[in-house]
Structure 1
Amino acid sequence: MSDASPLPSSLQEIADDFAELPVPQRLELLLEFSEGLPELPERYAGSLDSMEQVHECQSPLFLVVEVGDDVDGADEAGAGEDGAGEDRPVHLFFSAPPEAPTTRGFAGILHEGLDGLTVREVLAVPDDAPYRFALGEAVSPLRLRGMVGMLSRIKRQTALKARV
């Protein structure tokens, strides 16, 4: 069930990489994303209470979104004008245990595909994006529901913090 809206190019590249692989190698690529998930910055380390838990995930996963105050060209756009907030960059931070490689892999995909995009770009990501990574044959629907939950919270936090 695809809403036909395009993915941002960064996410589309990842989706294409998964689609080109046989199922067993998709799991290997998911593991690579798991291993590539950045560590939490010091300001969040040991402070899971300042992050939001994604209860749809089978393993404990916490995330937080930060929306930057400026991007290149923001001054020309007029930082106080309507819509300028949508051009600010979004940064994602995740905490998931190392013994949860699938959950970490999903977070790694979303981090690589969304971190640094603008508020507008993140909010435009189709809700069905997690189903576009050709992982339905490799992981259970229950697992994919966790990635859907992550994306939903990322978009909600982005909208709240950007006040759009």
Structure 2
Amino acid sequence: MTDDAAPALPKSLAEIREDFLALSESERLQLLLEFSRELPDLPERYAAAPGMLEKVEECQSPVRAFAEVSDGVVHFYATAPQEAPTTRGFASILAQGLSGLTPQQVLDVPEEFPLQLGLTRAVSVLRLNGMAGMLTRAKRQVVEQLAAA
């Protein structure tokens, strides 16, 4: 499939990608660290029962995430330890970029989105795989909720 045939990246994720690509490699890492400080807090229903969020096995750090479909809109929630800023940054990018999208927009996000941020030389492949794991889970969770509805 060519890029022309692929669905356009949702505006929220396209803007995040553009922000990263406008910077030098070292500045991209700084932006990722900024995102790590902006990971939204969990809603009380998840904060009180973090086991409701799915463990992301691909992450080296203990990360839990859940994509919730409510009234035709996706909300992505994640937890990641403060001492894992790269992982927190990736979780924050997805929380900010996926939340508010329709289920179809989330399903259309390309699997290679983590690689499109220009961080392949600044961040280990294992960490990028962690972000890909979060995205894959979000998509699967959306599909499961749509099937159950």
Q: Which of the five TM-score ranges fits, normalised by the shorter chain?
A: over 0.9
**Structure 1: distance between partners of 2:60 and 2:2:** 26
| Offset, 1:46 | 3.9
Structure 2 portions without partners, runs of 5+: none
Runs of 4+ in 1 over 3 A off after TM superposition: none
Q: Secondary structure at the match of 2:33?
A: helix
Q: Secondary structure at the match of 2:43?
A: coil
**Structure 2: distance between partners of 1:126 and 1:119:** 14
Partner of residue 75, structure 1? none
Instruction: Return closer, same or farther for 1:144/1:3 CA change in 2, 3 Å cut-off.
Output: farther
Q: CA RMSD in A?
A: 1.5
Partner of residue 77, structure 2? 93
- Structure of greater relative contact order (alpha carbons < 8 Å, 6+ residues apart): 1
Partner of residue 104, structure 1? 88
| Offset, 1:48 | 2.2
**Structure 1: distance between partners of 2:2 and 2:38:** 29
Partner of residue 84, structure 1? none
How many residue pairs match? The answer is 145
Q: Secondary structure at the match of 1:57?
A: coil
Partner of residue 38, structure 1? 40
| Offset, 1:9 | 1.6
Structure 1 portions without partners, runs of 5+: 70-87
Aligned with 1:130 (options 101, 114, 122)? 114
Counterpart residue identity of residue 20, structure 2: F
Instruction: Return closer, same or farther for 1:3/1:55 CA change in 2, 3 Å cut-off.
Output: farther
Query: Highest Rg: 1 or 2?
Result: 1
**Structure 2: distance between partners of 1:124 and 1:3:** 14
